[in-house]
């Protein structure tokens, strides 16, 4: 199921006003309670390790070895942790956030790097097909312009992260 509610604005990354270009695009940071599909019980387990935000989760579980260790520490299947990390990674893109990260993951896009490589038209068709097949709601599909914006922001994040 794709989570479609409007996310709570991120206080550490306020949205830019239309027409203003930020000097540097910042990675969005969300409370784990805003990630789709993360149960209260799982959030409590992560809180017990002082992991309450998407950035903290990514910092703790960025490598495959670290994800395996976190899954073992939480006594959970590795797939759960991998899903959370993928959702947290995609949520770093401000225009994707927690509103569309689940949709992208269901469409087969699991990382910001992968999102940055895609063509907007191709991804739009993929998401539209998913919306029609699963939800029978093509009206919920973001338009190609919005998807193009996601891709551009993903590309910018990767550029800024590689700069010293």
Reported as a pLDDT band with limits 50, 70 and 90, residue 23 is: low
At 24, list the tokens: 């540097």
Residues 92-134: tens digit of each pLDDT: 999 999 999 999 999 999 999 999 999 999 999 999 998 888 8
Q: Which residue from 99, 82, 130 is spatially nearest to 36, judged by alpha carbons?
A: 99
What is the rounded CA–CA span in Å between residue 47 and residue 92?
A: 20
Name the average pLDDT for the chain: 87
The reported pLDDT for the residue numbered 139 is 86
Residue 76 has pLDDT above 60, yes or no: yes
At 54, list the tokens: 């998407």
In this prediction, residues 51-60 reach a mean pLDDT of 98
At 85, list the tokens: 């990390």
Q: Which residue from 125, 132, 94 is spatially nearest to 108, judged by alpha carbons?
A: 125
Identify which has the larger pLDDT, 110 or 5. 110
Give the count of alpha carbons within 13 A of 13, CB side only: 19
């Amino acid at each position: 199921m794709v989570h479609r509610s409007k996310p709570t604005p991120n206080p550490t990354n306020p949205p830019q006003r239309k027409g203003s270009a930020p000097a540097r695009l910042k990675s969005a940071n969300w409370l784990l309670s805003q990630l789709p599909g993360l149960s209260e019980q799982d959030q409590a387990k992560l809180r017990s390790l002082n992991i309450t935000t998407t950035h903290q989760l990514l910092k703790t579980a960025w490598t495959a070895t670290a994800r395996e260790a976190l899954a073992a520490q939480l006594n959970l299947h590795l797939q759960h942790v991998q899903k959370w990390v993928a959702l947290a990674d995609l949520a770093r893109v401000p225009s994707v956030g927690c509103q569309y990260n689940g949709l992208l993951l269901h469409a087969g896009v699991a990382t910001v790097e992968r999102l940055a490589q895609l063509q907007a038209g191709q991804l739009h068709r993929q998401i539209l097909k998913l919306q029609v097949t699963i939800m029978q709601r093509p009206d919920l599909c973001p338009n190609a312009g919005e998807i193009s914006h996601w891709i551009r922001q993903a590309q910018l994040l990767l550029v800024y992260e590689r700069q010293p």
